[in-house]
């Protein structure tokens, strides 16, 4: 039976970097955010999402305006919950189909930004939390995205506090120095191959 290893971390922690490193080692990696983006491009889903908002969130090209949606849901938890009720079951179904295709793997990595927030750890055999100091995380996001420090802090505030995630995680990888991070992942791959 293929083991499901949940991989998560707050914004700017480097969870995607860690996920890509797992993939470079030949381990199947499912990135839930990418799956959700693909699902949100589906015409029926676009229309379904529009029904949540009084504001127009469909662009001229027929796709959802993700930036507008992001701004709307970060200020309004009930809108975020409604959006999640549409997208999460579709992502779960997509993951189940993907898992069937990778059932020969000893373990797979499922990268989910809000794994603990959605109680997703109960569907995993183990979890990995990628952490980094808050200032490091803020600097990474400022370099990566065209956003403000205030926006980043708002996103961090909307995520589960780091201390709570640490309590829930099976394994923790502090991602400050990339070479050290990669060594920690190599060690973890050995551990996961033997569980």
Please tell me whether 147 is known to bind a ligand.
no
Please tell me whether 62 is known to bind a ligand.
no
- Per DSSP, the three-state class of 2 is coil
Please tell me whether 8 is known to bind a ligand.
no
Please tell me whether 12 is known to bind a ligand.
yes
Burial 167-184 (b: 16+ CB within 10 A, else e): eebbbebbbeeeeebbeb
Residue 195 tokens read as 């569980």
CA-based torsion, 81, 82, 88, 93: positive or negative: positive
Please tell me whether 78 is known to bind a ligand.
no
Give the helix ranges, DSSP H, for 51-177: 66-74, 77-101, 134-144, 149-158, 162-168
Please tell me whether 16 is known to bind a ligand.
yes
What residues form the annotated binding site?
12-17
Binding-site positions for ATP read: 12-17
């Amino acid at each position: 039976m293929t083991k499901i290893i949940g991989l998560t971390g707050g914004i700017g922690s480097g969870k995607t970097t860690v996920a890509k490193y797992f993939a470079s080692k030949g381990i199947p990696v499912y990135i839930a955010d990418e799956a959700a983006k693909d699902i949100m491009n589906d015409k029926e889903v676009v229309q379904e999402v529009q029904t949540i908002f009084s504001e127009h969130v469909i662009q001229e090209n027929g796709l959802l305006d993700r930036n507008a949606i992001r701004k709307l849901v970060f200020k309004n938890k009930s809108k975020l919950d409604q959006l999640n009720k549409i997208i999460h079951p579709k992502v779960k179904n997509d993951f189940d189909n993907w898992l069937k295709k990778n059932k020969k793997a000893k373990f797979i990595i499922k990268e989910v930004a809000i794994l603990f927030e959605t109680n997703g750890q109960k569907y995993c055999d183990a979890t990995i939390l990628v952490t980094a100091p808050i200032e490091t995380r803020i600097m990474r996001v400022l370099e990566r995205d065209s956003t403000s420090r205030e926006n980043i802090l708002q996103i961090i505030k909307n995520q589960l506090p780091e201390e709570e995630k640490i309590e829930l995680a099976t394994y923790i990888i502090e991602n400050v120095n990339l070479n050290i991070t990669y060594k920690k992942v190599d060690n973890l791959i050995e551990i996961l191959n033997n569980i």
